Amino acid sequence: RSAYKLQEIDEKFKFFWRNVQSVIDIWCAPWSWLQYTSRKLQKNNNSDSQLIWFDLKKVEINLPYTHTFIQDITEQEKVQNILHNQLWNTQVDVIISDMAPDTVGNKGTDALRSCSLIMDTMRMYETLLKKDGKFTIKVFMWPWFDDLVQYCRTKRWASSIKIFKPK
């Protein structure tokens, strides 16, 4: 199901246009977004393409252009070191994330934990996303959602936020 959501986002917003070379996938388990993105990069047929993913869980997956790292993305210095050693460029075309916190069944708590993850990843968008780059993240809807959107719109990397809920 998850890959179909990314496909719908890609079709609507042209996420993986022809010249996309570098993509970061944050917390990619269960890996369907990673598989979709790898296929899109293959279709672009650029040997310099790179797909780097971070997750807390180990996965045995062998996909073209893909580099996998078990790393907590909130440990910013370690993430930066990995990227510095792996990327041929210091900024990327696309960042994607289907991350969600381990839910506890309380909507308020789950929403706050989701927001916390988003705030933890904002540094990545600020420092790693190219000026004309794109990103997509999963966000739990909660009463403070509009406040988060307004805050993000003040950032260089999120001036043209589009809210979209895939089928």
Q: Rounded CA gap, 164 and 149, in Å?
A: 12
CB 84 within 8 A of CB 77: no
CB 23 within 8 A of CB 96: yes
Q: Rounded CA gap, 76 and 109, in Å?
A: 24
134 catalytic, yes or no? no
CB 3 within 8 A of CB 38: no
Catalytic position from the list 107, 138, 155, 167: 138
Catalytic residues: 138
